[in-house]
Amino acid sequence: MQTRWTALVAALLALALEPARPLMAARTTLDIYFIDVEGGQSTLLVTPAGESLLVDTGYPGFGGRDPTRILAAARDAGITRIDYLLITHFHTDHDGGVVELSHQIPIRTFIDHGGLLPTGDAEKDSRWPEYAALLKAYIPVRANGKHLEPKPGDRLPLKGVDVVFVSSAAATIVKPVSGAGQPNPACEASAPPAQDPYENPRSTGFHLRFGTFRFIDVGDLSGPPLFALLCPSTLLGPVDLYLVPHHGGPDVVYPATFAAVQPRVAIVNNGATKGGAPEVFAGLRRAQGLQDVWQLHRSQNQGAENFADDRIANLDETSGHWIKVSANKDGSFTVTNDRTGVTKHYGPRARP
C-alpha cells in the first residue's frame, strides 16, 4: 500500500513540475474555404475571433455529399457551429444542402432575401417548382434560428471584419464602399442579359474588408444589378480576392467587370461542366493586374482553356478538395490547394 501511495505522490509531483503546455495559438488570419460542391456554391469564412459565416450549402442528395464536405472544412477550421448562414438565392445548387446540414451542426442566424418570386412563365423556368419545394423545406429550418433579410448597405456584425451587403432582392447599393467610386472606362451601354432572369439577379452579395484585405462574393448576381455595381463608376473598388460570380458563367464576364474590381487573385467555383465557360477563362487571361486564377474543378467544357493543374483543386469528379485562403490585416494572403498541399503567398497590394 505504501509503495502505491509513494508512486502516486511521485507522479503528482512530476506533473506539477512539468512545464505548462502552450495554449492553442490565437487566430490572426481570416480563413476562407472554397468548398467543392460540384459547381454549386459553399464558401466558409472564419474570422480571427472564431466567428463563422457560411455562404450557401451546395446541392441536396448525393448521399449527403455537400453537407459532409462542409463539415470537413468546419472541422479543419476548428469550429463547431455556424454563426451566420447566408443563402445568396434560392437555387438548388445554393440552398439544397441546408436541411441536412442543420441536422449535423448548429446554425444560429439565417440570412437571405426572403423567398422566391413567381416567374409567371413556367415554360421558360420549368424548375421553379423544384426551387419552391426546397424553399418550403428550408423555411422551418430557418425558423429555428434568427432570421435576417438585409438591405443593400446593411452590415453584418462580425468582430474585426467589415462586411457590407451590396446586393439583395435585385436592389444594390447606390453609394460606393470605402475606397471605391472611380469611373469605369470599360463600361458599355448595358450588361449582357442574365442567363436566369429571376433568382440570379436577386442574389444577396457582400463586400468584405479585413484590415486592407478586400474580398467580394455576390453569388450568382448577373444582369442589371451586377452592372449597377460596376458602371458607370465602380461601387466596389479594387479587391485582393474575387469570387467570379455565377460559377464563371458567360453572362458575368465582360470588360467592365474586371476593370471595376481589379482583382489580384480570382477564384472560379466551377464544376466539371457547370460554369467555367470558355468566355470566362479568356476574359480572365485578358484582365490587367490579375496575378492568378484558382479553379475548384478542371473544366470539361468544349473550348475552355483551363489554368495550370497546380491551380486546380479537383481534376475530376472523384474528389472533393477545397481551396483555402488565409488573409492578413496588412492585405497579404496565402492560397492553398488542398489536393496538392501547395501554398502560394501574395504580398500586400501596392497602394497609391
The domain that contains 203 carries what CATH number?
A: 3.60.15.10
Within-domain flag for 17: no
Residue in 118, 34, 45 with CA at minimum distance from that of residue 322: 34
Whether residue 176 is preceded by a cis peptide bond, meaning omega within 30 degrees of 0, is no
19 Cβ neighbours under 8 A, 6+ residues apart: none
- Give the residue among 259, 72, 229, 237 at the shortest CA–CA distance from 166: 229
Indicate the pTM of the whole model: 0.91
In a domain? residue 114: yes
| Digit-coded pLDDT (tens) for 298-352 | 999 999 999 999 999 999 989 999 999 999 999 999 999 999 999 999 999 876 5
Of the candidates 296, 301, 334, the one whose C-alpha atom is nearest the C-alpha of residue 43 is 296
Confidence bin at 27 (pLDDT 50/70/90): confident
Residue 13 is predicted with a pLDDT of 45
Q: Quick check: 308 and 317 in contact, CB under 8 A? A: no
Give me the DSSP letters along 245-272: GGGG-TTS-SHHHHHHH--SEEEE---S
11 within some domain: no
The Cα–Cα gap between 150 and 147 comes to 10
Structural domain includes residue 4: no
Does the pLDDT value for residue 171 go beyond 60? yes
| Domain containing residue 62 | 25-344
Task: Count CB atoms within 10 A of the CB of residue 153.
Answer: 15
On whether residue 68 sits in a domain, the answer given is yes
- 102-119, pLDDT tens digit by residue? 999 999 999 999 999 877
- Position 176 confidence tier, pLDDT thresholds 50, 70, 90: very high
Query: Can you read off the three cell numbers belonging to residue 60?
Result: 441536396
State pLDDT tens for residues 81-106.
999 999 999 999 999 999 999 999 99
Distances (CA, A) of 241 to 86, 171, 180, 286: 19, 23, 15, 17
Cα gap 260→293, rounded to integer Å: 17
Q: What is the dihedral of CA 130, 59, 148, 79, to 10 degrees?
A: 160
Confidence of residue 126 (pLDDT cuts 50, 70, 90): confident
Phi, psi of 65 (to 5 degrees): -55, -50
Residue 334 in any domain: the answer is: yes
Q: Could you give phi then psi for residue 278, rounded to 5 degrees?
A: -55, -35
| Of 317 and 44, more confident | 44
Q: How many residues does the chain have?
A: 352
Domain membership flag for residue 314: yes
**Does residue 337 form part of some domain?**
yes
Greater pLDDT, 8 or 156: 156
Q: How far is CA 142 from the centre of its chain?
A: 20
The answer to whether the CB of 258 falls within 8 A of the CB of 234 is no
Structural domain tally of the chain? 1
Radius of gyration of the chain from its Cα atoms, rounded to whole angstroms: 22
* Banded model confidence at residue 122, pLDDT cuts 50, 70, 90: low
Give the per-residue pLDDT at 5. Answer: 47
Cα separation, 108 vs 85, whole angstroms: 8
| pLDDT score for 16 | 43
d(CA 214, CA 261): 10
The SS3 of residue 82 is: strand
Exposed/middle/buried for residue 171 (C-beta within 10 Å: 0-12, 13-18, 19+): middle
